Structure 1
Amino acid sequence: MMKHSQAEIVKNLTGKELRFHLYISQFAIILLAIILGFIFMQNIPDSMFQINFRYLAIGAVSGIIVVIIDLLFMKIVPPHYFDDGGINEKIFKGLSIPKIFAMTLLIAVAEELLFRGVIQTKFGLVVASIIFALTHIRYWSKWFLLINIIVLSFWIGFIYDWTEQQLLPSIVMHFTIDFLLGIYISRKSIRNNID
């Protein structure tokens, strides 16, 4: 039932409307991260916002590896395995690279601030990864996408722990994945319209 109602909602929304809702949700996530940070974290670890270029490179390389794996799977598995109800295609369709950059940077900062910076720091890798995966509701009815988001969530969480709970490497990894796949989806939709 949820799958059909979500598909109907997406079908009736324009890409601009979906992006508007995405921006609102990301600002809500940032606000939630700030509120939960004040409640659960009396002291923010000094290391959380340090800049370590080696760790940033680990985040970027990890993100690129995820994108390569996703692109390989897109060539191997049937296309319906990656069907999220058309949400990603509508969000990224025809967007310029600067707009994709800004949107995916906001998503990466907001989600990593909440899921790694607050939830994982306070409650650990497993709790943060499960909550992160559960918030991606559109993947619940697609076993392949659900497994994909669970594995990805644990991988990002592992990077956060492995880099001594520095937030920037996980933000860079999340951003790299969303940015590169956003460009891929945007350009694919342009090619499909030309063909």
Structure 2
Amino acid sequence: MRLTDQAQLIKQMSDREVTKHLVYTQLFIFLFAIALSVFLFDAFFSDWQQLFTLTFNEWLFYGILPAVVVLAIDFVLMASLPKRFYDDGGINEKVFKNQPLTKIFFLTLIIAFSEEMLFRGAIQTEFGYIIASLVFAVIHFRYLTKVVLFVSVLCVSFLIGYMYELTHSLSVTITSHFLIDFILALSIRVRK
């Protein structure tokens, strides 16, 4: 499917349908992370448990601070670049524009949790930082023809992957991923 075809398909779908597909995709990503880790990890439960340890300082310095920096850069770019550079085909607007705050909170938490479980928890733990960061960026294929969006996702992927390299904590990466997605989703809702 070409990206222009995808954009047309998204326009024909209701907000509810797009959100439902997003949730199904995240459920698939989460289940795939679990299945992959069953085959890759030596001690499934203890390996996952170790990935969620952290200190408050790590959480603050490696989870929250990078998210604030990414958001500041994103907001500066969004204010200074034409809107077409940040147009993702309408998916993010369909998902977040008309949602209540609680639903935005839970959707972005589900996204951050499932994607970090797969990309940092399973893939980066077993295959390394570069592979996980590149796969994360490429999986956001709708950004491939949008240079600013793709470079942004690629940079964020490498940044979050690096935070994981430093801490080996999914709590850190989930926090950072969640804050970025949640604040950006809120900004979409506010702009409506």
User: Which has the higher mean CA deviation after the structures are superposed, 102-111 or 138-147?
Assistant: 138-147
SS for the counterpart of 2:164 is helix
**Residue 133 of structure 1: how far off its partner (Å):** 0.5
Q: 2:52 aligns with which of 30, 49, 64?
A: 49
Which residue identity lines up with residue 64 of structure 1 in the other structure? V
* Preserved CA contact (<8 Å) 1:94 1:187: no
* Structure 1 unaligned regions, length at least 5: 190-195
Which residue identity lines up with residue 24 of structure 1 in the other structure? Y
User: Are 2:130 and 1:116 aligned?
Assistant: no
After superposition, the C-alpha distances for 1:73-119 in whole angstroms (9 at most, x for unaligned) are 00111111101011111110121111110000000000000000000
SS for the counterpart of 1:49 is coil
User: Are 2:25 and 1:22 aligned?
Assistant: no
**Residue 45 of structure 1: how far off its partner (Å):** 6.4
In structure 2, C-alpha distance between the alignment counterparts of 1:22 and 1:45, rounded to whole Å: 25
In structure 2, C-alpha distance between the alignment counterparts of 1:65 and 1:31, rounded to whole Å: 31
2:36 is matched with 36
Q: 1:172 aligns with which of 153, 175, 188?
A: 175
* Structure 2 unaligned regions, length at least 5: none
> Normalising to structure 1: TM-score of the pair?
0.93
**Residue 4 of structure 1: how far off its partner (Å):** 1.5
After superposition, the C-alpha distances for 1:142-188 in whole angstroms (9 at most, x for unaligned) are 1111111111100000011111x111000000000000111010111
In structure 1, C-alpha distance between the alignment counterparts of 2:4 and 2:32, rounded to whole Å: 29
User: Are 2:14 and 1:10 aligned?
Assistant: no
**Structural mapping, 1:23-102, within 5 Å:** 23-43=23-43, 44=47, 47-58=50-61, 59-102=63-106
User: Which has the higher mean CA deviation after the structures are superposed, 86-95 or 115-124?
Assistant: 86-95
Aligned Cα root-mean-square deviation (Å) = 1.2
2:159 is matched with 155
> Normalising to structure 2: TM-score of the pair?
0.95
In structure 2, C-alpha distance between the alignment counterparts of 1:55 and 1:45, rounded to whole Å: 18
SS for the counterpart of 2:51 is helix
**Residue 51 of structure 1: how far off its partner (Å):** 3.4
In structure 1, C-alpha distance between the alignment counterparts of 2:147 and 2:19, rounded to whole Å: 25
In structure 1, C-alpha distance between the alignment counterparts of 2:95 and 2:48, rounded to whole Å: 35
Which residue identity lines up with residue 7 of structure 2 in the other structure? A
1:103 is matched with 107
**Residue 24 of structure 1: how far off its partner (Å):** 0.3
Structure 1 moving runs of 4+ over 2 Å: none
In structure 1, C-alpha distance between the alignment counterparts of 2:24 and 2:50, rounded to whole Å: 29
* Preserved CA contact (<8 Å) 1:116 1:128: yes
